[in-house]
Amino acid sequence: MGAAGSVVNSAYFKQKLAGELSAGNHKTYCLSAARFSPAANALLTGYRSLDIPLNAGAAG
């Protein structure tokens, strides 16, 4: 399980979100598990907003 207390980790929330996404406006959505923790995602989002490149495999 991911971060304790995260609404997105709730089985109820996941079920409701999937239902809402599938009952919509002729668009297709795929609900998948998070690949990163909330903290890592916040960091990556910040980097993206500042146009800081992420180099996979780059050694410092």
pLDDT in tens, 28-55: 877 777 788 888 889 999 999 999 998 7
Q: What is the pLDDT of residue 55?
A: 79
Q: Is the pLDDT of residue 2 over 50?
A: no
pLDDT category at 57 given cuts 50, 70, 90 is low
Summarised one tens digit per residue, pLDDT across range 7-27 is: 777 888 888 888 888 887 777
- State pTM to two decimals: 0.46
CA distances from 26 to 10, 19, 22, 29, 30 (A): 26, 14, 9, 10, 13
Residues 6+ apart with CB under 8 A from 1: 9
Which of 50, 36, 31, 28 lies closest to 6, judged by CA?
36
